[in-house]
Amino acid sequence: MQRLIGLVRRCVEDYDMIQPGDRVGVGVSGGKDSLALLVFLAELRKYNHNPFTIEAITIDMGLGMDYSGIEQLCKDLEVPFHLVRTEIGPIIFDHRKEKNPCSMCSKMRRGALNQALLDLGLNKLALGHHYDDAVETFMMSLIYEGRISCFQPVTDLDRTGIIQIRPMLYIHEKTIDSFVTRKGLPVLHNRCPVDKHTKREEIKQLVYDLSATYPDLKERIFGAMQRLPLPEWGPKGRYKRPKEQ
């Protein structure tokens, strides 16, 4: 795990994500990525030269999921756990019957998360996006929108005063999968009706297929993102792009 903590630390330092005294809320959905992020940040706070605290926040979508495993993990990690109950799921699928629900769901969940941070007095929100998420988001913007764009490693939400950070951008998805399996983390089954049937899944398959012919495709895309035309992705440290782990 120390090698992975090292990658998280390097990402945090390269993008100046955490300052002394920060109170960081970790968005924990119950998926493998957010659980891994929770464990990594809980470990990093022990050794980081910039002292900070973390608290876990889970948004209950109203889909009848059991979060007791996450609550126990937080107790084991000595991390405060906050469960925010909402009716986002029923609103989107039962009342509005959205045909393309992902965008609205994302906005509502992010709004609930941001409000929870404000209520708890936390100033930063850590999200579990990883290396592959960044590459896929870049490809989605290019193919579906005709734009060269991606989420940023650090995003300042001016209207709320909250800063979003993504500390796992140097870790590949398959490495996270392996870590979560080895540690036996309490991954929840996603009850979203459209899970695995999204545009992101199409892009994930496309990248997978192209990588069979161009093995270094993801590394080239990620490297391009760290240069122009995405200046927010330029790391401050002397970072060498990670190969498949």
Largest CA distance in the chain: 51
Q: What does the mean pLDDT of the chain come to?
A: 89
> What span, in angstroms and rounded, lies between the C-alpha atoms of 1 and 179?
8
Q: Does pLDDT of 239 surpass 60?
A: no
Each residue's pLDDT tens digit, 174-212:
999 999 999 999 999 876 666 656 788 899 999 999 999
The yes/no answer on whether domain 2-131+150-191 falls in CATH 3.40.366.10 is no
- Beta bridge partner(s), residue 155: 164
Note the pLDDT of residue 159: 82
Q: Does pLDDT of 16 surpass 90?
A: yes
Q: Does pLDDT of 216 surpass 60?
A: yes
Q: Which residues contact 185 (CB under 8 A, 6 or more apart)?
A: 32, 35, 36, 39, 73
> What span, in angstroms and rounded, lies between the C-alpha atoms of 46 and 44?
5
Cβ(233)–Cβ(225) under 8 Å?
Answer: yes
Note the pLDDT of residue 90: 79
Cβ(57)–Cβ(26) under 8 Å?
Answer: yes
Q: Does pLDDT of 8 surpass 80?
A: yes
> In sequence order, what DSSP letters do the residues of the chain get, joined into one string?
-HHHHHHHHHHHHHTT---TT-EEEEE--SSHHHHHHHHHHHHHHHH-SS--EEEEEEEE-SS----HHHHHHHHHHT--EEEEE--HHHIIIIIS--SS-HHHHHHHHHHHHHHHHHHHT--EEE---BHHHHHHHHHHIIIII-------SEEEETTTTEEEE-TBTTS-HHHHHHHHHHHT--PPPP--TTTT-SHHHHHHHHHHHHHHH-TTHHHHHHHHHHSTT-GGG--SS---PPPP-
* Euclidean distance between the first and the last CA atom of the chain, given in angstroms as a whole number: 13
Q: Does pLDDT of 172 surpass 80?
A: yes
